[in-house]
Amino acid sequence: MWIITACSRVPRAASRKAVKSSSAYFVGRHMRGLWLKIWIASEVVSWARSNTFSRPPLVETWAPISMSDDPQTDSPFRVRFAPSPTGALHIGGARTALYNWLQARHQGGELVLRIEDTDRERSTPDNVEQILDALGWLELDWEEGPLSQAARAERHREAVEQLLEGGAAYRDPAMADDVRAWKERHGKQRGYRGEPSDDETAAVRLRMPDGGDTVVDDLIRGEVRFPNANADDFVIARGDGSVLYNFAVAVDDADMGITDVIRGDDHLSNTPKQLLVMEALGVEPPRYAHLPLLHGPDGKKLSKRHGAASVQELRDAGYLPAAVRNYLALLGWGTDDDTTIMSTQELVERFDVGDVGTSSAIFDEQKLRWLNGRFMREMPLEEYTEAVARHLGREPDEALRAACAIVQDKAQTLDEVWPLISFLFAEPEYDPKAWKKVMKDSAMTLLTDARAALEGAEPFDAETIEATLAPVLAEHDVKPGKLYQPIRVAISGGTVSPGIFESLAALGKSASLQRIQRALDEGSAVST
RNA sequence: GGCCCCGUGGUCUAGCGGUAAAGAUUCCGGCUUUUCAAGCCGUGAGACGCCGGUUCGAGUCCGGUCGGGGCUACCA
């Protein structure tokens, strides 16, 4: 008899009142393989206790906020992120990493990074590097790791041996075709059961119970039960002794003292297998939380086909890590009061994996853009300049800083910044369409007067420039746009730029006058 | 095929049997006597997959059905 401790799903309404219910139940197994379940629900947490752990004011830092209220679990809170390095870290993986990180920080626990590299075909050092790079960019850190799962092969073999000796597992030479044939004979819904063999080169299978259900008490989905009769005796170790995923994961999670497994929904169906492995090993399983999967705009599983599918692509597209974290956190989770924009600290304080929703979400870049724009605008100029510099591969010098100052409230992504300020760093090319649209003959007259007026503008700052240009406007009795647009084209080459006064000031007096003169020259050249 | 998960405006969330289903984003219109954005405003547009059942009353509970997804490897 062994015990599963599990924390039942905490209803939102309850958590809102800061009352957390908890329950533990025992799952025992009859000799025949019947599962017995005794529900021992208990409202362990009284008001007194909930007061002890009530949420601190928002200013408080990342101290443990809500401690695990499961009396069975005194071990420190420990989660893990366990990606398999078979490619770049995509958005779904990034969200899983973030949720693990947030929960670890929220609980004041630890995060372990474990690389699931037992697939020797597909796992490459380069992919590991990419994952580390992505996590680094997202500014997610961890207490332990990166640990290599492949490096633990010896321990895995040992565990297989243990099960073989105890009779929980057996050697079976059957191959995939044999299993299929067996199922043809016994009915599709019957789980495969093999014949033990002495063949030392045969794969090792775990014996599944013939009756009852294996229950996963998921923090997000509640109780999910899987009929044992339906499950195959599955292979835990290959003929050569190397182990398979569902076995390695169970052994590692147990060995590493993981208390909570937060991972994608695609692992929900694997969980009963892992639970059974742990039971055979005689260890206590962790709590589980299976996150709904993320999908692309077409509703299909996220893949390279969809725009920015990897973290690297997000970075290259000019998004801010803080904005990406905020957006990802909101994909599947929300606050009770509809708050959308949150600092990372606020995320840590408010996030609770038990509040994550059950339905899959679609990655929507439009909302990310909006959110990113909000973060961009609220950044201190210093920080903004550095982010822009890093993105452009330039130095965050005075010139860039000045350019950033006039463009900060206009761009939604880092990528949009350069086109708006490049005219400050190089002589612009006139955009033919822009020229044709605004540089009419009347515009040339206005430009001539504006240039003359600007010569007297001192100091050459936005305020003075505006005041200097006002009389020109009045004199010709035209709408502001009639004057400003030609100036804009003259100094920036196009019809879109930051505010015209700020742009002139940032360019400087001599360059501004010189460019207006150039436009004038070009204008007269065209008309003659 | 078998087992499992999911289904509220285009998208993300709220809604926990009882006022005209709420917020965010998006789109549309307007304002900001400088472009493009941003911002602000709007009694603007847009949703409970479908069918039954329980109930005085269902987006909310039950059954079925359809749709999407996952697992079903000596992959992870």
Is A437 among the catalytic positions?
no
Alpha-helical runs (H) found in A116-189: 125-137, 153-166, 176-186
Mean pLDDT for A500-508 is 94
Kindly report which amino acid residue has its CA closest to the C1' atom of nucleotide B15: A336
Domain ranges of chain A: 149-291, 311-415, 427-527
Flag the least confident range among A123-137, A215-229, A298-312. A298-312
C-alpha A186: how far from chain center: 44
Measured CA to C1', the nucleotide nearest A240 is B74
Distance CA(A483)–CA(A453), nearest Å, equals: 13
Alpha-helical runs (H) found in A58-124: 91-107
Structure confidence at residue A419 as a pLDDT band (50, 70, 90): very high
Quote the pLDDT of residue A307: 55
Fold of A311-415: Glutamyl-tRNA Synthetase; domain 2 (1.10.1160)
Question: How does pLDDT run across A246-286, given as a tens digit for each residue?
Answer: 999 999 999 999 999 999 999 999 999 999 999 999 999 99
Q: In CATH terms, is domain A427-527 a member of 1.10.3720.10?
A: no
Q: What is the mean pLDDT of chain A?
A: 83
Residue A330 corresponds to which tokens in the numbers above?
């909101």
Quote the pLDDT of residue A294: 92
Measured CA to C1', the nucleotide nearest A231 is B3
Angle between helices A480-492 and A441-455 in degrees, nearest 10 = 80
Distance CA(A279)–CA(A168), nearest Å, equals: 10
Q: Whole-number Å distance, CA A360 to C1' B50?
A: 21
Q: Whole-number Å distance, CA A413 to C1' B27?
A: 21
Residue A467 corresponds to which tokens in the numbers above?
């005041």
Q: Whole-number Å distance, CA A188 to C1' B2?
A: 6
Q: Whole-number Å distance, CA A158 to C1' B67?
A: 46
Q: Whole-number Å distance, CA A291 to C1' B58?
A: 28
A414, A391 in Cβ contact below 8 A? Answer: yes
Among candidate residues A216, A257, A219, A213, the one with its CA nearest the CA of residue A22: A219
Q: Residues with Cβ < 8 Å from A129, sequence gap 6 or more?
A: none
Quote the pLDDT of residue A188: 80
Quote the pLDDT of residue A457: 85
C-alpha A56: how far from chain center: 26
A150, A120 in Cβ contact below 8 A? Answer: yes
Kindly report which amino acid residue has its CA closest to the C1' atom of nucleotide B39: A409
**Residue in A300, A304, A440, A479 annotated catalytic:** A304
Q: Residues with Cβ < 8 Å from A412, sequence gap 6 or more?
A: A369, A370, A372, A373, A376
Structure confidence at residue A402 as a pLDDT band (50, 70, 90): very high
Is pLDDT of A398 > 50?
A: yes
State the CB neighbour count (10 A cutoff) for residue A429. Answer: 9
The domain A149-291: what is its CATH number? 3.40.50.620
Measured CA to C1', the nucleotide nearest A482 is B34
Measured CA to C1', the nucleotide nearest A236 is B74
Q: Which nucleotides in chain B lie less than 7 Å from some protein C-beta?
A: 1-8, 10-16, 23-26, 33-39, 68-76
Cis before A459? omega within 30: yes
Report the complex ipTM: 0.94
Is pLDDT of A33 > 60?
A: no
Q: Which DSSP letter does residue A75 get?
A: S
Question: How does pLDDT run across A488-502, given as a tens digit for each residue?
Answer: 999 999 999 999 999
Measured CA to C1', the nucleotide nearest A377 is B38
C-alpha A35: how far from chain center: 38
Kindly report which amino acid residue has its CA closest to the C1' atom of nucleotide B24: A340
Among candidate residues A256, A251, A288, the one with its CA nearest the CA of residue A110: A256
Alpha-helical runs (H) found in A190-285: 245-255, 271-281
Q: Whole-number Å distance, CA A386 to C1' B45?
A: 41
A399, A425 in Cβ contact below 8 A? Answer: yes
Is pLDDT of A2 > 50?
A: no
